[in-house]
Structure 1
């Protein structure tokens, strides 16, 4: 039995030896952080480490992958926009200084080791850059009548991750729903923290005030300037009175025009310069038309 076990172990070692030698001869890469997240204008380290290799001086390359692949490190030196703000660290890792939002994306670390059986290896590092929001753009109506709906807007397009929004009235934060706070029971608004809208279904006099919005993410926050919104009462009696006055004026104008027509103020006699009136014919005179003599008259008592 002992002999058979030794034979089986020997055969197993013979079978595993090629695999072990392949493992030893293969270049292998690892990373301490495959998804680094940094703030804009900070320092970013893209970790790429050679775990195993038999090549003393492997070739190192870094590329940024996207619609168009760009070389970051090639031929032993930095390329493109990275020349003055990036360098290699620990032989293969990449450090980028003063990171901008344009630097986010996938970077590929490639190592070529000619003396290894598996001469090449690569890993992808996904760099995320967080951006602080800028001052959002706010739109607040200047005046709204009581009982009407109104919407206030707050938008910011620079921050990453996308910011959330908080509204303030007279420097006091507003809840997401007015009904959720006893202090705002007399109001009727809701806030969408993702889109930045503050919507009133029916504004009340108590909603008058100075409004501003703050956009925030995990990097920072920014706010817009305060804007005044006035809520005023509708003067129904005044509106009705104004309409009646307008109708009365229109009625008087119509009556005046009708009277003027009746009195002939707007009748205009036009006479053509070449026109003439035919003389009235005396009673008892008949006119006969002839080609030679023209018209001649005769009395009814004329007898042939």
Structure 2
């Protein structure tokens, strides 16, 4: 079995972990909200055992939690449960199959995060969702940038895109708007292909482009909301986290534009700029967007 096939099979088990892992906190059952598969690192000389894959479970723990019991209803063989405490101590217990763990003392392990800490964390999450993780959003922003190397068209498009995706990000997270990802993701890919193809045909900002960028921004906002839903938002600081994530996204987009501007600044005014720079890059973006559209819609 190839590593890619192995990772695909293990990643498909993520919902099983969400279903089978139970935490009993202060007499109340708590379930993970999602599970993320992390592939093992590459094996290195000197490793005594092959590197292990990891499933990272996320969920909400009461801030005043005092006692924890663990149940993993997926195995029948004994396994070790190791809990690393915030004070540096580690608690290890061997559990027999589907038995409950003993009671783990959580006293002093949780504290209420401040609004500033929430803002800092979600700005970072928004930024890293664009750089380096958001290749589809990076390509879309590059497609907007490449139309014309002038401040006005770049500003008009990016501002329109920002307003649009901010609207649907907020409405989706507040529960007013919802579209399944099987619809949103192919349309996001199609938007990437479209802006790149239009760059091949014109270097002028037409009114319909602004309208389409706004519509595409609405779709991208739903994509951002899907990621943010997986990450979760703190109920006590919902608005702070939402605005901070959006701010991080904007910072990521501006970083993409700044990096692109630095790369083409020296040749942007040359007569061959469109033919030698815009056309080949736009062709590549259009090809990637087209492939993603088909893959996300049919594969």
TM superposition score normalised by structure 2: 0.22
Which structure is richer in relative contact order (CA contacts within 8 A, separation 6 or more)?
A: 2
Bigger Rg, which one: 1
